[in-house]
Amino acid sequence: MRRHIRILLVLLLAGTMQMFASNPVVLPDWMLQAMAQPKGAYPEDTHAVVLMSETLYTVTSGDQYTEHSRRVVRILRPEGENEGSFSVPTSEGDQVSLLHAWSVDASGHTFEVKQKEFGEYNLSEEELYNDNRRFITKVPGLGVGSVVALEYDVRRHIYKAELDWFPQEDIPVKNASLILDLPPTWEYSSTWANASGRKAEPAGPNQWKWVLADIAPIEDEPLRLERASLSQRLSIAFFGNGVTSRVGSWAAIGTWYKGLADQRRNSTPEILETTQRLTTGRAGFDSRVRAIASYVQRNVRYVAISIGIGGFQPHFADDIFRHKYGDCKDKATLMATMLKQLGYPSELVLIDTDREFTKPAVPSTVFDHAILAIELPADIADDTYPSMVKTKSGKRYVIFDPTNQFTPFGLIPSYEQNSYALIATDPGELVQLPLFQPDLNFSETAGKFSLGADDVLTGEVVHRMKGDRASSMRNALSQYDGKDRSHFVELIANGSLKQASVDAPQFENLNDTDKELTINYKVKMGGYAQNAGGLLLVRPRIFGDKSMHLPKKTRNYSIELTGSRHDRDVYEIAIPAGYVVDELPDNTHVDAGFASYSSKFESDGKVIRYTRDYVVKNPHIELSKLDEVKRFENSIALDQSATAVLKKAP
């Protein structure tokens, strides 16, 4: 289940574009009117600007509407030429009645692409098959100063009486409008995300229009939320003439989705036999559920097949079991079916992997992921599982993601923590998933090293990880094998040590997600110490950069770290013969509220010992705390680069 397909369209459709420099094209009036607007002033790095974006939704029934769209963009920099690549998505039941694109270059030459010259493609990268198609073209005449335009009409079939509008983009939008045209006596409800006070005005008989002007772009900044989570978004639910809105509230959406999902939990003798075999000899809820969870994670390949309502509705459990593949909602459905055989009730959960995309005040069916809520038996304490949530009715559920094969039962990955998710019960209920305590995502790097008289650093390193820290590393290591895996560990080491060599890496519990992941290896690096007038300067912090590396430019958005975590480093460096410690750096301790950092430097005359703890308590850092972040970062930078001074023994 995906909210939208993220695809970079780099398509040069040779032979499908016609140039009309010698036979000028007549540009439509609405394009000429948009071009006639004052050009305005924009920052030098602005690639393009949307002069006009206009959408008309004409609803004809509870499951059908027509979308008429017009778009005009002026290209300001070479990087903005991608705005001349147009893509119009369609799915099952959709009918395209108009496709037309135009452009005019800086010299005034005009071009057009007619409907028959658009290419039609299925561009899914993750799915085995779906019926989503895209009509694509790239208009001629692109360059700085060019203006491009697109117009299309698509009659669309929908499975929910909901429409969503995203007027904000990563480039400025000068004018954007949406018109909702409803049948007589029909009604609608609407809610905005990341915007307030945006009201519709009457535009005709049961027509409503939203108009926005001078919409700032979503700036590209490191460590910010995803664009979809920051974007202004209008969600519209409509109903009338016997059509009952299946959306418009979280309760209604949950009821609607439960009706879609529950009918797919059809067990078979084969499913029952496998469930019994996996749990034979296992006593209790925890042991039995872990066996089922591990089976679904590892034996059902992630492959999506979306046809029509299959974009929302899971496939039948027996089909998923028989073919051993499915997408997120399929894996959750099969696991729910197997748990049902054991007497453990469960419900599907809709969630978005873009943190903070789902807003409690904006009921919507726009999600990109499905996971599972397993009802907790009465005899199990609340604090048994970190991923437990409690609903208003008092029911307790353990939240689990069968798609993420590296996160064990009882935990959820960091990108789902602290997010809102809809439990598809009747009625549905929106809950906030827990943010784990930092120690649940723990990582320790310990190393014992020797510094030779030739400035060569050698040593042995042990990495221990659990929780999300282990899950992320297991995921990364799964992409490699043999020598490539060793090379990957070497790349990690070289993030802190220049031109270091890694030897004999060993991996413990790599495939056992219920246990700590451990990585051991030997490391060697020349020229580690710096000579300065007979003194040796040695950096006790050998591995691990904890800085955020935020640019100095003005920031517009809050800071979003990966998740809560606790990282510990313990390094011992045996100093070379003939040297003694002359000076150690000062210890550091700073607590910024959202995170803390402490370090300690010690020596017994033979060994320098460096210990530090970096703890992220809250991954979401408000923009108002930016000055605190800068002070925190400065303390970390000074500590990480601090050197111990060695001198020759008297």
What digits encode the pLDDT tens for the residues 212-256?
Answer: 999 999 999 999 999 999 999 999 999 887 766 567 899 999 999
Q: 417 and 291 in one domain?
A: yes
Given a cut of 90, whether residue 496 has pLDDT beyond it is: no
As given in the structure block, the two tokens for residue 565 are 């975590």
The identity of residue 479, as a single letter, is: Q
Q: Which residues contact 622 (CB under 8 A, 6 or more apart)?
A: 558
Q: Is residue 259 part of a domain?
A: yes
CA gap 220, 43 in Å, rounded = 14
CA gap 323, 268 in Å, rounded = 14
| Banded pLDDT at 534 (limits 50, 70, 90) | confident
CA gap 618, 641 in Å, rounded = 26
Instruction: Name 461's bridge partners.
Output: 447, 521
Q: Is residue 11 part of a domain?
A: no
Q: 353 and 454 in one domain?
A: no
DSSP letter at 243 equals B
Residue 323: phi, psi to the nearest 5? -85, -15
Q: Is residue 10 part of a domain?
A: no
Beta-strand relationship, 301-302 and 325-326: parallel
Q: What is the pLDDT of residue 13?
A: 40
Q: 208 and 80 in one domain?
A: yes
| Banded pLDDT at 133 (limits 50, 70, 90) | confident
Query: Length of the chain, please?
Result: 650
Handedness of CA 273, 275, 281, 283 (dihedral sign): negative
CA gap 237, 214 in Å, rounded = 26
Q: What is the pLDDT of residue 447?
A: 96
Q: Domain residues for 540?
A: 439-648
- From the centroid of its chain, how far is CA 435? 17
Whole-number average pLDDT of the chain: 91
* pLDDT tens figures, 56-72: 999 998 889 999 999 99
| Banded pLDDT at 455 (limits 50, 70, 90) | confident
CA gap 584, 608 in Å, rounded = 9
Range name among 12-16, 309-313, 353-357 with the lowest pLDDT average: 12-16
| Banded pLDDT at 305 (limits 50, 70, 90) | low
Given a cut of 50, whether residue 19 has pLDDT beyond it is: no
CA gap 337, 10 in Å, rounded = 42
CATH number at residue 314: 3.10.620.30
Domain end, chosen from 413, 434, 455, is at: 434
Number of compact structural domains in the chain: 3
Q: 279 and 130 in one domain?
A: no
CATH number at residue 55: 2.60.40.3140
Q: Which residues contact 272 (CB under 8 A, 6 or more apart)?
A: 341
Domain end, chosen from 207, 239, 271, is at: 239
> Count of CB atoms within 10 A of residue 606's CB?
11
Given a cut of 50, whether residue 9 has pLDDT beyond it is: no
CA distances from 356 to 193, 225, 389, 417 (A): 10, 8, 18, 10
> Count of CB atoms within 10 A of residue 175's CB?
18
With CA atoms as reference, report the closest residue to 147 among 188, 212, 207, 102. Answer: 102
Residue 40: phi, psi to the nearest 5? 75, 170
Q: 476 and 371 in one domain?
A: no
* pLDDT tens figures, 597-645: 999 999 999 999 999 999 999 999 999 999 999 999 999 999 999 999 9
Q: 443 and 420 in one domain?
A: no
| Banded pLDDT at 91 (limits 50, 70, 90) | confident
CA gap 227, 220 in Å, rounded = 9
As given in the structure block, the two tokens for residue 352 are 């978005």
Q: 460 and 545 in one domain?
A: yes
Q: 283 and 191 in one domain?
A: no
Asked if residue 217 lies in contact with residue 172, where contact means CB atoms within 8 angstroms, the answer is yes
Alpha helices in 238-327 (DSSP H): 250-262, 269-279, 285-299, 317-323
Given a cut of 90, whether residue 127 has pLDDT beyond it is: no
Instruction: Name 501's bridge partners.
Output: 524
Q: Is residue 256 part of a domain?
A: yes
Q: 343 and 220 in one domain?
A: no
Percentage of residues in the chain having pLDDT higher than 70: 93
Q: 447 and 429 in one domain?
A: no
Q: Which pTM was predicted?
A: 0.91
CA gap 189, 249 in Å, rounded = 10
Percentage of residues in the chain having pLDDT higher than 90: 82
* Residue in the structure block whose two tokens are 């010259």: 117
Q: Is residue 587 part of a domain?
A: yes
Instruction: Give exposure, 462-499, as e/b (b: 16+ Cβ within 10 Å).
Output: bbbbbbbbbbbbbeebeeeeeeebbebbbebbeebbee
Domain end, chosen from 187, 206, 239, is at: 239
Q: Is residue 394 part of a domain?
A: yes
Residue 393: Cβ-neighbour burial (10 angstroms; 0-12, 13-18, 19+): exposed
> Count of CB atoms within 10 A of residue 142's CB?
19
Q: What is the pLDDT of residue 453?
A: 80
* pLDDT tens figures, 540-560: 999 999 999 999 889 999 999
| Banded pLDDT at 130 (limits 50, 70, 90) | low
CA gap 497, 488 in Å, rounded = 14
As given in the structure block, the two tokens for residue 183 are 């049948």
DSSP string, 442-488: EEEEEEEEEE-TTS-EEEEEEEEE-THHHHHHHHHHTT--THHHHHH
CA gap 590, 597 in Å, rounded = 5
Q: Which helix (H) or strand (E) holds 568?
A: strand 565-574
Given a cut of 50, whether residue 353 has pLDDT beyond it is: yes
Asked if residue 221 lies in contact with residue 556, where contact means CB atoms within 8 angstroms, the answer is yes
Handedness of CA 622, 626, 630, 631 (dihedral sign): negative
CA gap 89, 103 in Å, rounded = 21
Tally of CA atoms within 13 A in the half-sphere of 47 that contains its CB: 15
Q: 398 and 348 in one domain?
A: yes
Q: What is the pLDDT of residue 240?
A: 86
Q: Is residue 193 part of a domain?
A: yes
Q: 263 and 234 in one domain?
A: no
Range name among 271-280, 375-384, 492-501 with the lowest pLDDT average: 492-501
Q: Which residues contact 650 (CB under 8 A, 6 or more apart)?
A: none
As given in the structure block, the two tokens for residue 21 are 């420099």
As given in the structure block, the two tokens for residue 147 are 């203006």
Q: Is residue 164 part of a domain?
A: yes
Spell out the SS3 assignment of 141-165: CCCCCCEEEEEEEEEEECCCCEEEE
Asked if residue 151 lies in contact with residue 52, where contact means CB atoms within 8 angstroms, the answer is no
Spell out the SS3 assignment of 407-436: CCCCCCCCCCCCCEEEECCCCCEEEECCCC
- From the centroid of its chain, how far is CA 397? 24
Given a cut of 60, whether residue 399 has pLDDT beyond it is: yes
CA gap 7, 167 in Å, rounded = 19
Residue 206: phi, psi to the nearest 5? 55, 35
CATH number at residue 563: 2.60.120.1130
